Amino acid sequence: MKILNVDFYAANATKLFTDSLKQTGFAVLEKHPIDWQLVEEVYTEWRQFINSDAAKNYYYNKDTQDGYFPLDVSEIAKGEITRDIKHYFHLYFPHGRYPKEVSNQARELFNQLFTLGKTLLQWIDSHMDHAVSNKLAMPLVDALSLERTLFRILHYPAIQGDEEPGAIRAAAHEDINLITLLPVASSPGLEVYSHKEDKWYEVLCKPQSIIINIGDMLQEMTDFEYIATKHRVIKPEGEALGIDRMSIPCFMHAKPEVYLSKRYPTADSFLQERLIELGVK
């Protein structure tokens, strides 16, 4: 499986990017407009906050899905029985709860990622098969919802060796949304599955790069021209003891009323089904 590294500013970036997504479900932006110092500062600030007692004051709301999700309510991936080894905070803009204990940096980073995500959806629109694009009710960028897009601040604790049998940091899954923008995490561990080879591959990324992957909503809307690829997060072989992991995926979501497919008439009906499957609603 060959996931392409793409220079956002290159003349052939749009084609390379969409070719990689069509072939693997993933692409990597090795050069991009995101302020990487801001990424590092968010990792540092939120690592401290999410492990503090203050985070518990924002316990997640099952209806709005914003706030802090502790280890004991973390997701159980579809088809799995063991809870992932992670805890996280859900940020929704502009209306979701935002902790008073942290700076405005996560909000600034979200705005940058959301702007980049809109451009990438326009790239996908421009390289979509005409027969597929003609079936869409609207261009992807118009289907995008600011209010539904989720910015998740994730902390994976250091693996101690006494975890529940079969538990890993994030079990094999596909994302729910249109596309996910994932700045490279603070440590390795992301793997992607090749159905053709029945094999897991590490997603190799240059420092300060951004990983993009297809979600199930886009797969449904494009009648599987763009396919959501199964991926997971593990403790890499040989990783030293005591290494935790910070990750900040931005899940670009469709507006609730957007038509996906015959199986899922609206994006909202699909989202609600998946949240129930994950055990968080």
Q: At how many degrees (to 10) do helices 36-50 and 105-126 cross?
A: 130
- Better-predicted residue by pLDDT, 116 or 223: 116
- Cα(63)–Cα(92) distance, integer angstroms: 13
Q: What is the pLDDT of residues 251-260, one digit of tens each?
A: 999 999 999 9
Instruction: Say what percent of the chain tops pLDDT 70.
Output: 98
- Better-predicted residue by pLDDT, 156 or 81: 156
Residue 8's pLDDT is what? 98
Interacting residues of 108 by C-beta distance below 8 A, sequence separation 6+: 38
Residue 65's pLDDT is what? 93
What is the pLDDT confidence band of residue 74, given thresholds at 50, 70 and 90? confident
Give the mean pLDDT of 59-63.
93
- Better-predicted residue by pLDDT, 56 or 79: 56
- With CA atoms as reference, report the closest residue to 216 among 171, 269, 281, 167: 269
Residue 82's pLDDT is what? 83
Q: What is the pLDDT of residues 151-192, one digit of tens each?
A: 999 999 988 766 665 678 888 899 999 999 999 999 988 999
Q: Where are the domains of the chain?
A: 28-182+197-278
pLDDT, averaged across the chain:
92
Residue 93's pLDDT is what? 97
Q: Is the pLDDT of residue 100 over 60?
A: yes
- Whole-model pTM: value is 0.94
Q: What is the pLDDT of residues 3-42, one digit of tens each?
A: 999 999 999 999 999 999 999 999 999 999 999 999 999 9
Amino acid at 69: F
What secondary structure does DSSP assign to 168-233, as a single string?
Answer: -SEEEE--SSSEEEEEPPSS--EEEEETTTTEEEE----TT-EEEEE-HHHHHHTTTSS-PPPEEE
CATH class as words, domain 28-182+197-278: mainly beta
Pairing state between β 179-183 and 245-247: unpaired
Residue 162's pLDDT is what? 64
Q: Is the pLDDT of residue 118 over 90?
A: yes
Q: Is the pLDDT of residue 123 over 90?
A: yes
